[in-house]
A and B are shown apart, each in its own frame.
Chain A
Amino acid sequence: MNRRTPLLMVVLGLLLIVLALLLPRESHAAIPVAGPGDVLLDEAPRPSNAYCLLCHAQAGQTWKLPSGETVSLTIDASVLAKSVHGDTSSKGPLTCADCHGNFRYPHPVQTAQSLRQFTLTRYASCRNCHEDQYTRSQDSVHGAALRAGRPEAAVCVDCHGGHDIQPPDRPRERISLTCGRCHGAIFDQYRNSVHGKALFTENNPDVPTCIDCHGVHNIQNPTTAAFRVRSPEVCSKCHSDGALMAKYKLNTHIQESYLTDFHGSTVALFEQQDPKIPTNKAVCFDCHGVHNIQPVNNGNTSPIRENLLTTCRQCHPDAKANFPDAWIGHYPATPESHPVLYAVNGFYSLAIPGSIGLVVIVAGADFFRRLRQRFSRRRQTGA
């Protein structure tokens, strides 16, 4: 029995591995994709656009849902033609049936109670061509909210549109305007921030839009501990890019000064070792704001510097007026800004190598003296 147990374990283990390899594919295929008449289930030829437009080009076509909503069913074929799926599409223009499946006439009876319900049964048809984006959006905070019973969570068409799909990042402002449709309160903060203002009033190509920090499709929950400890890297993507910062005369010591500081070095360790464990050490947005980030320097004034004590007191309620100076800032210490600190660092930068040199010289001299003494003694005894 004892001898056979290991063999049994190996066989069982191998079996488990084989099962594990088989499982994901099986479960993947098991995700229900089809709404009513989603993909073409039979071999019958697809109806042509002209066939659909016989009715849908007529004005005044509406559909009244049980929820009381009325949806216009009149389709402007030119809108579809001007969309990314229209005449300029690299794979040729899409037909109605490509997305709407076998909606032949007479149409199947719709069971959707509301327009939203209808959308949620239909949006997976994007997956037929955009599998990757679809899967990532399912893994996102939106997908999770949807599964948690929040029907308002964004699906493909909420961001990209239905018939009139345009390149989502042209113009660049479109990106943030898209998110702002649902995230109105956050958009309102963002548009007044240093980044938002530059985006909308200067058409600035470098400031972040929503997706530059949050990602696209697989957008993750930004309130987790893991997002928090990773956030300094998000800011650093641009703020430690020397060429980019030089363009706007911005400080390039931000990341380095943060990482050598108490807050930054702790957060970096948490990120590397325990990203899921919360830490209360400040990250960029705790002091600079999240979506409402303001410029550090405003003409000759520095609002953030003047408000520093208030900012510190968010976490250190007992902080006194001198406390903010305990942080030397995002710039290296200079003789003008921090004379004592600069002198101390200067002293040790001489004292430490000097001491090492002294130790090496003294120990070396002592070692050679001993060697010489032993050598001469041996010569004496040998003589």
Chain B
Amino acid sequence: MAQDVQRTHYRRFSPAQRFEHFVLIIAFIGLAITGLPQLFAGEAWAQSLILALGRIESVRILHRFMALLLIVEVLYHVLSLAYKLLVLRQSASMLPRRRDGRDLLDWLRYTVGRLPERPRMAHYNFLQKIDYWLTVLSILVLLVTGLLLWNPIAVTGVLPGGAIPVAQAIHKNQALLLVLLVVWHTYNAFLKQFNVSIFTGNLARRIMLEEHAEELETLESGEQTPGASGEQVASRARRFWPVAIVVTVLVAAGLIRYLTYQQTAITTVPRQNVAIFAPDVQPAAGDAAIGGALWSTLRCPICHGPQATGGPEGAPALKGSSGSVGKTLTFEKFYAQVRNGSDKMPAFRPEELPDGYMAHLWAWLSSKSTS
């Protein structure tokens, strides 16, 4: 041991990393509280949440703004990783290695009591790698499907229509998996061990001992990995920044173009333009079925009989073999008789029997069958 007094905490996360994690928390919570109620819109809690957030249309817009925040964070993360790997030439400590598989097995054996000690693990242990890569995968899946759903009309100009419901199904389900992942992550960070290093920047030695024993040993032995010289870093940075800026500008421009591409749904649905009060509308052709129904609802059958075959009090037959319709009676005479009446027949006013119905009545009276 290099020092007599052991330090209780070791530095783990830089302020930039902590800020990034903070942004991620905001984006995740924002996306979850605007996304989950859309997924469970039928539930009472979801509806209260939607009301609290200012109705469904605002919830949808908020969800998109939060997605934008997440996209910015993802872009920053990629750039900062590129800087660390390409300019600072730090080791890719988050990449899965063969030893992670061994650590996983040892950890399982320890958990079931077959090993007395936990595996001695490095800066990022296998659990954190699983967490990280599953989160990365989930976010990528959610971003791709979310962006497809952002512009369904433009997307179906290129992809088959079926891509949209598939993207929707993936987006909904993957979101649930990510929520589960975050629950698991929260359990690992808070309940299993009270690990707040992502907020304070420092990790307690007690936790280091359990989860990063190998790293702790290296740190306490005082060994320093030789870093690159300031000159080398500066020359790599001179080549890095122009490329990074060009890539950033291109991605941002593409993103803005894509996210503002579609403005197609109209604001109001066209209403069918049909006259409301229209007693004078004439049908294109009389309909015998309508006429038959009409006959039974009017006063006509009282005298002319239910089938218009004539009545006992001398009202003539209009229909059937002895009926006058189609023989001596024309539509014009029929119309005049109905409207004006006669000494034996009352007149029918248009309010009771509109002109539009006359053609239907005539069609029925002209039809041969008496049923």
Contact = CB atoms under 8 A, between A and B. Distances in A.
Interface of A: 59, 72, 74, 76, 78-79, 82, 150, 152, 158, 161, 164, 166, 171, 173-174, 177-178, 180-189, 191, 200-201, 223, 259, 265-266, 268-270, 272-274, 278, 280, 282, 286, 289-291, 314-320, 322-328, 333, 338, 340-341, 344-345, 348, 351-352, 355-356, 359, 363, 365-367, 369-370, 372
Interface stretch (B8-16, B62-70, B194-202, B292-300): B292-300
Contacts of A280: 265-269
B110 interface: yes
Given A164-B299, A174-B293, 15 more contacts: A59-B343, A180-B356, A180-B357, A184-B354, A185-B275, A282-B269, A289-B272, A323-B156, A324-B161, A325-B156, A340-B166, A344-B170, A348-B169, A352-B177, A370-B192
B92 interface: no
B268 to A, nearest CB: 6
A318 B156 CA distance: 11
Nearest to B187: A363
Contact of B302 (A79, A201, A274): A79
Contact of A166 (B176, B272, B287, B297): B297
A325 B165 CA distance: 9
Given A171-B297, A174-B297, A316 B153 contact: yes
Given A173-B293, A320-B157, A344-B166, A326 B41 contact: no
B279 A182 contact: yes
A181 B356 CA distance: 8
A294 B283 CA distance: 18
Contacts of A351: 173, 177
Contacts of B341: 72
Top 3 nearest A-B pairs (CB, nearest first) are: A325-B161, A184-B281, A348-B173
Interface stretch (B49-57, B225-233, B319-327): B49-57
Contacts of B121: none
Contacts of A318: 153-154, 262, 264
A3 to B, nearest CB: 38
26 contacts: A59-B343, A74-B346, A171-B296, A173-B293, A174-B297, A182-B278, A182-B279, A184-B279, A184-B281, A185-B278, A223-B271, A265-B38, A274-B55, A290-B272, A290-B274, A315-B265, A315-B266, A318-B154, A319-B153, A322-B160, A323-B157, A323-B161, A325-B162, A341-B165, A355-B180, A367-B192
B274 A291 contact: yes
Interface in B151-206: 152-154, 156-157, 159-166, 169-170, 173-174, 176-177, 180, 183-184, 187, 192
Given A318-B264, A352-B180, A338 B162 contact: yes
A320 B153 contact: yes
Interface residues of B, number: 74
B162 A341 contact: yes
Contacts of B268: 278, 280
Nearest to B270: A314
A189 to B, nearest CB: 7
Interface of B: 38, 41-42, 47, 50-51, 55-56, 110-113, 152-154, 156-157, 159-166, 169-170, 173-174, 176-177, 180, 183-184, 187, 192, 262, 264-272, 274-281, 283, 287, 289-290, 293-294, 296-297, 299, 302, 341, 343, 346-347, 351-354, 356-357
A180 B350 CA distance: 12
Nearest to A351: B177
B164 A326 contact: yes
A315 B351 contact: no
Contacts of A356: 180
B289 to A, nearest CB: 4
A224 B305 CA distance: 45
Given A181-B351, A369-B110, A363 B165 contact: no
A320 B152 CA distance: 10
B177 A322 contact: no
**A72, A78, A174, A177 pick with most chain B CB within 10 angstroms:** A177
A351 B169 CA distance: 13
B280 A326 contact: no
A316 B290 CA distance: 38
Contacts of A181: 279, 351-354, 357
A176 to B, nearest CB: 9
Contacts of B174: 348
Given A171-B293, A182-B277, A356-B180, A365 B112 contact: yes
Nearest to B192: A366
